[in-house]
């Protein structure tokens, strides 16, 4: 990395504020983390292959064939429309930006998802890449980072509302095979933990930035200016609670809208499942996925979740597995082009053909 304030997720930062190695053991520690990450990814991929083999390659292929290229293209196009909602949920947080920058936030949100689903990065890596993309496309650097932090909290609250909707549906009209005694306590505890986590996350944003600001006095001036700018922007955003609430509502709407994509796929595959049942199933799937946040792309977790929960809601196991594979294919079809475009934007930046918006330091730390 060229400078301490870099946010580049492609390589670990082993330098302290002075630019020197913090400890001789740091490279070894990073190597162990990479090995552990590789093991988790391989285990998830192996589980997916085993599930396909166990439930029959022909049966899974038949379900995917029923969807066809037209169904898959429809699903991808529908998902892009959902990303317009997600990008709008992020954009509405940032005040006084021209409407043309909405596309920057939509693309940044798409890239944020791609980093977590397609690349071997954690959610943090996706956050960095999304904020960087918005900055490259014209949004101020500090505002890109601060609004992305607030958007993460709003998304958490939107997902909690979605989970609560799923639990409410299950309480009113659960499928006969649903194991209430085993899962109801888990669901309510998970919802409670989610509320506490969201509250702590929102609180830690401002407390953490205040603490970081206090300890950054001896850091290089460029890094110090970034911290101060991000903290000021974060405080300014939270002084507009109506915008944050609007973001939460848009995120909840996006969760509901995304359920429509699953309904479309299942219809193409010949499965008849009510929209309410799909909301309940998806809320449980993504609650499980959130619990496995440390697994890149939730490899194996998504597939296993559908295998376990799909039959409870009336889906054949091979159909539930096919649905998870279609989602994987959708993630690749949308995520890989987004990553390519991002790399092209970075290339333009390096060649001096495009520069982040003036008024705040670049997220990468370079002028």
CA distance 231 to 128: 16
Say what the pLDDT of residue 58 is. 65
Number of Cβ within a 10 Å radius of residue 363: 27
Q: Which residues of the chain have pLDDT under 50?
A: 1-24, 358-367
CA distance 233 to 93: 11
Residue 116: name the closest of 335, 340, 342 by CA.
335
Residue 120 in tokens: 């071997």
Residue pLDDT, tens place only, 20-76: 344 445 566 556 655 655 555 556 556 556 565 555 566 667 777 888 899 999 999
CA distance 171 to 185: 12
Say what the pLDDT of residue 134 is. 93
Model pTM? 0.77
CA distance 203 to 199: 6
Contact present, 167 and 186 (Cβ < 8 Å): no
Say what the pLDDT of residue 281 is. 92
276 CA to centre of own chain: 24
CA distance 90 to 216: 28
Domain map of the chain by residue range?
26-350
Say what the pLDDT of residue 47 is. 58
Residue pLDDT, tens place only, 86-126: 999 999 999 878 989 999 999 999 999 888 777 766 566 78
Residue 356 in tokens: 């982040």
């Amino acid at each position: 990395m060229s400078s301490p304030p870099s946010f580049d997720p492609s390589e670990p930062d082993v330098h302290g504020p002075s630019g020197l190695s913090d400890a001789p053991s740091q490279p070894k520690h990073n190597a162990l983390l990479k090995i552990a990450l590789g093991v988790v990814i391989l285990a998830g991929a192996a589980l997916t292959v085993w599930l396909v083999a166990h439930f029959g390659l022909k049966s899974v292929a038949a379900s995917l064939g029923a969807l066809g290229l037209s169904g898959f293209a429809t699903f991808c196009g529908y998902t892009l429309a959902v990303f317009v909602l997600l990008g709008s949920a992020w954009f509405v947080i940032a005040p006084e930006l021209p409407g043309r920058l909405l596309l920057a936030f939509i693309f940044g949100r798409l890239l944020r998802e791609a980093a977590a689903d397609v690349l071997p990065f954690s959610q943090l890596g996706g956050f960095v890449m999304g904020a960087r993309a918005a900055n490259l496309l014209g949004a101020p650097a500090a505002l890109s980072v601060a609004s992305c932090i607030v958007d993460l909290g709003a998304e958490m609250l939107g997902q909690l509302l979605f989970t609560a909707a799923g639990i409410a549906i299950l309480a009113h009209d659960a499928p006969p095979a649903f194991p209430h005694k085993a899962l109801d306590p888990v669901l309510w505890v998970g919802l409670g933990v989610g509320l506490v986590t969201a509250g702590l996350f929102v609180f830690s944003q401002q407390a953490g930035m205040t603490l970081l600001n206090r300890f950054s006095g001896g850091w290089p001036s460029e890094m110090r200016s970034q911290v101060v700018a991000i903290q000021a922007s974060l405080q300014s955003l939270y002084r507009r609670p109506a915008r944050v609430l609007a973001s939460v509502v848009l995120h909840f709407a996006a969760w509901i809208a995304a359920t429509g994509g699953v309904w479309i796929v299942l219809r193409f595959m010949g499965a008849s499942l009510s929209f309410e049942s799909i909301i309940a199933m998806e809320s449980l799937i993504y609650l499980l996925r959130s619990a496995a946040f440390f697994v890149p792309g939730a490899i194996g977790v998504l597939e296993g979740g559908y295998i376990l929960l799909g039959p409870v809601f009336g889906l054949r196991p091979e159909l539930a597995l096919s649905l998870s594979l279609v989602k994987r294919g959708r993630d690749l079809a949308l995520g890989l082009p987004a990553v390519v475009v991002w790399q092209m934007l970075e290339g333009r930046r390096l060649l001096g053909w495009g520069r982040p918006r003036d008024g705040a330091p670049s997220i990468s730390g370079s002028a």
